[in-house]
Amino acid sequence: MKENLIQQAYEIARERYAALGVDTEKVLEQMQNFHLSLHCWQADDVTGFENQGGDLTGGIQATGNYPGKARNIDELRQDILKATSYIPGTHRLNLHEIYGDFKGKVVDRNEVEPEHFQSWIEWGKENNMKLDFNSTSFSHPKSGDLSLSNPDEGIRRFWIEHTKRCRAVAEAMGKAQDDPCIMNLWVHDGSKDITVNRKLYRELLKESLDEIFATEYDNMKDCIESKVFGIGLESYTVGSNDFYTAYAASRGKMITLDTGHFHPTESVADKVSAMLLYVPELMLHVSRPVRWDSDHVTIMDDPTLDLFSEIVRADALDRVHYGLDYFDASINRIGAYVIGSRAAQKCMCRALLEPIATLRDYELTGRGFQRLALLEECKALPWNAVYDMFCLRNNVPVGESFIAEIEKYEAEVTAQR
């Protein structure tokens, strides 16, 4: 698109928004400080580099077999950098433990050390990407249906050890980057059929977590992620929403809200203002559930728009961390990164452009028609011209022009794999 057209469209948008008391330059500044944490696992369908050839287990599934997935650490890094070149702004990278640089050695989960992430720490510095981290309790011979809540002491201890070590890795990352590394803890623990010892497994999970979190760190933050159910684990989830919400509130931990982990008509947006009264911060796993936790690519849909609007309306921009979590193996994987990231940014851009002062005033003075009318008009205001300007100022392709570039990378690189 011609640069002067983008400029002109932006000037018109700036005036339209200024008339409503919204400063688009301020929004562009806020967008610059809005960092996504890109999930490394979109590039290879949650495979990782353990060299053990295991299947994806733990109730999650990446469907599709689109050619060109990253097969090793170099390809994964190359693909992520390619994706970020089409996403305006600066972003973080969210690593799972199974993506360590194990250099061909088999390093079991209870043996992981910060040194296995040294090359990632350096890579992150070189490429201006801060790191976040995740323990990995799925896709392992000891995963079974229960990990941190397993009544088998040996298995439970194995996963406690793993998770403790992961926290030490996160601490090393946070220290090296001089910015806290957010470590997410999600375990698939649950069962397929009617379960009678529900309380027992939850007690065990609580004990395991208390032991894991006993060590205090300065450069990492913990967040815990609930879920409704996993595939093959439909009847019971140990780490339910109630369990983790109560745990996080009582222990001062962050909650991870995965948008695919709730009942289909439940509003994740509405959780923001409730939870932030009791937990210090939130981590998001922005995803798109289609009938179930299918992890489709994030798009600019109503639930995502609502979620980001709620964060802005709750003045919580600096209390939320913005991770993405989807893994679509049926389309070009770099394209999937770019679509989902740009969609999340567009949702945030529109949320930041809301004439919130006027809307609040309408509401507090009982002017319901006016509130609804302005909300409806906002949908069609030229927010896209502001997003285009954000892309232009960050030297990334504006509009659909990234499609052809990703096609080129596919022809030259990923299709050759």
Q: Classify burial at 119, counting beta carbons within 10 Å of its beta carbon; exposed 0-12, middle 13-18, buried 19 or more.
A: middle
The residue from 227, 253, 271, 321 that is catalytic is 227
Active site residue 258: yes
Confirm whether 285 is a catalytic residue: yes
User: Which is catalytic among the residues 225, 310, 328, 388?
Assistant: 225
Q: Catalytic annotation on 295? A: yes
Smallest gap from Cβ 258 to Zn ion, in A, equals 4
What is the rounded distance in angstroms from the CA atom of residue 225 to the CA atom of residue 311?
18
Instruction: Mark whether 179 is an active-site residue.
Output: no
Q: What residues have CB less than 8 Å from 325, skipping those under 6 apart?
A: 39, 258, 260, 285, 286, 287, 295
- When the beta carbons of 44 and 258 are compared against Zn ion, the nearer one is 258
Q: What are phi and psi of 320, to 5 degrees?
A: -125, 140
**Least distance from C-beta 245 to ligand RNT, angstroms?**
16
Binding partner of residue 41 among ligand RNT, Zn ion, none, CB cut-off 5 to 8 Å per kind: ligand RNT
**CB burial string 59-75: b at 16+ within 10 A, e below:** bbbbeeebebbbeebeb
Query: 318 catalytic, yes or no?
Result: no
152 counts as catalytic: no
What whole-number distance in Å separates Cα of residue 208 and Cα of residue 214?
10
* x/- track of binding to ligand RNT for residues 206-235 (CB under 6 A): -------------------x-x--------
Residue tagged active-site, from 39, 162, 221, 261:
261
Long-range contacts of 84-87 (CB under 8 A, 24+ apart): 84/38, 84/127, 84/129, 85/396, 86/338, 86/342, 86/396, 86/397, 86/402, 86/405, 86/406, 87/36, 87/337, 87/338, 87/341, 87/342, 87/345, 87/396
44 binds, among Zn ion, ligand RNT, none (CB under 5 to 8 A by kind): none
Tokens encoding 244: 């983790």
Encoded one letter per residue, x for contact with ligand RNT by CB under 6 A and - for no contact, window 107-146 reads ---------------------------x------------
Does the footprint of Zn ion cover residue 132 (CB under 5 A)? Answer: no
d(CA 413, CA 358): 50
Q: How many residues bind ligand RNT (CB under 6 A)?
A: 11
Q: Which of 97, 145, 189, 258 binds Zn ion (CB under 5 A)?
A: 258
Catalytic residue among 293, 328, 388, 410: 293
Chosen from ligand RNT, Zn ion, none, partner binding at 60 (C-beta under 5 to 8 Å by type): ligand RNT
Is residue 261 part of the annotated active site? The answer reads yes
- 3-class secondary-structure state, position 231: coil
Give residues in contact with Zn ion (CB under 5 A): 258, 285, 325
Give residues in contact with ligand RNT (CB under 6 A): 41, 46, 60, 134, 186, 225, 227, 258, 285, 293, 325
